[in-house]
Amino acid sequence: MDMVSLIEKECSMQWLSEYLEKRTTAAEAVQEIRSGQSVYIHPGCATPQDLVAALLARSRDLEDVEIIHMKTLGMADYTQPEYERSFRTIALFVGENVRQAVCEGRAEYMPIFLHEIEGLFESGERPLDFVLLQTSPPDKYGYMSLGVGVDCTLTAARHAARVIAEVNPNMPRTLGQSFLHISEVHRVVEVSHPLPELQAEPSTDLQRRIARNVASLIPDGATLQLGIGAVPDAVLACLGNHRDLGMHTELFSDGVIPLIEKGVMNGAQKTIHQAKLVAGFVLGTRKLFDFIDDNPLFEFHPIKYVNDPFVISQNRRMVAINSALQVDLTGQVCSDSMGTKIYSGFGGQVDFIR
């Protein structure tokens, strides 16, 4: 049974006809993009691979198209030297697929606190002509979930001139402030590929020793923020004997699953969104995507809310766990670069440190 047949069972014909009218191929959808326009790409495990590939295939027809995104996964060939005339990338967070281009000057890094990114789109300071994103299939009311990545994308979509959506049955339906209605999307491209995954690296003995020290500082009933990296993942593995932990974080990964299944992480003592685990996006594997699918324990919200220091500060016993790359002799911590080489970006670390 194809996607339309599945949808037809439980839908109102009013929005279904709109959905059918908007269906097209990836190649046809990106034909609307013109030289000099700006294109935002859904980041992380939600990166819309077919649309990115279709845009790249149009490179000979385009000049000076601005591509803006946070950490994407998978191919980012638009940063390669042969595409300099066609595309210029602005990275709000530098992933490994654009890091070399940033360091060599073919792409730009825009330093910005994560919770302030959406303000660029809302104010019009950074106008968006197109948003390329990936969603779950619509529910019976015509709402499509942004699934693994609400992040800054929901806000970007609502302030862009046009929205092109890959609709993928492999995208989980996550709950919270995570939905776009079919009326808010201009083109629909049906796909059925696996989502990009981010596999956790095995922790080293040193990282496990650090994690045990960190875990000893976390009280029962704490609300956690979890950064990216082997150390935060190793900390989660050391929390099995804690009680009533909560979560309010920009992102999380597979490491939370054992704690939830053991009843350790339940949000019972949270002061806001009690008994809910709040996040903006996930970086993980298929196991995690299946775990968050239609799971009412989780609430996903835009980063401008999740990472707002005034919202964060309302959480009882808030503990932020992040990794650093360097510490100098005066105690200054650096997490975004190594010397003059940009490695990642501010991300949400400073939002939570505040």
How far, in Å, are 112, 189, 239, 246 from residue 271 at the CA level? 29, 41, 21, 10
- How many domains in the chain? 2
Q: Is the pLDDT of residue 6 over 80?
A: no
DSSP string, 15-37: HHHHHHHHB--HHHHGGG--TT-
Quote the DSSP letter at residue 134: E
Q: What is the CATH number of the domain that holds 246?
A: 3.30.750.70
Residues linked to residue 66 through DSSP beta bridges, in sequence order: 38, 88
Q: What is the pLDDT of residues 19-42, one digit of tens each?
A: 999 999 999 999 999 999 999 999
Shared domain check, 215 and 175: no
| 310 Cβ contact partners less than 8 Å away, ≥ 6 residues apart | none
Q: Is 34 within the bounds of a domain?
A: yes
Q: Do 317 and 225 belong to one domain? A: yes
pLDDT tens per residue, range 278-335 = 999 999 999 999 999 999 999 999 999 999 999 999 998 999 998 888 898 999 888 8
Q: What is the spatial distance between Cα 178 and Cα 180, in angstroms, rounded to a whole number?
A: 7
Which listed residue (66, 250, 261, 299) is catalytic? 250
Helix (H) or strand (E) holding 131: strand 128-135
pLDDT at 44: 96
Of the candidates 184, 138, 133, the one whose C-alpha atom is nearest the C-alpha of residue 161 is: 184
Specify the DSSP element, H or E, that contains 257: helix 256-261
Helices (H) and strands (E) in the chain, counts: 14, 18
Q: Is the pLDDT of residue 17 over 80?
A: yes
What the block records as the tokens of 293 is 């699918």
Helices (H), 167-254: 205-216, 230-236
Question: Tokens 């149009």 appear where?
Answer: 58
Rounded Cα distance, 3 and 64, in Å: 36
pLDDT in tens, 45-98: 999 999 999 999 999 999 999 999 999 999 999 999 999 999 999 999 999 999
Q: What is the CATH number for 71?
A: 3.40.1080.10
Here the tokens at position 347 are: 């991300």
Give the pTM: 0.93
- Strand pairing category for 333-334 and 326-327: antiparallel
| 281 shares a domain with 146 | no
pLDDT tier at 339, thresholds 50, 70, 90: confident
Residues 283 and 254 occupy one common structural domain: yes
313, amino acid identity = S
10 is catalytic: no
| 221 and 169 assigned to the same domain | no
Q: How far apart are CA 204 and CA 115, in angstroms?
A: 32
Each residue's pLDDT tens digit, 194-204: 999 998 888 89
Residue 226, pLDDT > 90, answer no
Task: Based on the fold, state whether residues 226 and 348 are members of the same structural domain.
Answer: yes
At residue 278, the pLDDT reads: 98
Co-location of 83 and 227 in the same domain: no
Asked if the model's pLDDT at residue 2 lies above 80, the reply is: no
Q: Which domain holds residue 298?
A: 205-353
Q: How many CB atoms lie within 10 A of CB 143?
A: 18
Residue-wise pLDDT tens digits, 233-262: 899 999 999 999 999 999 999 999 999 999
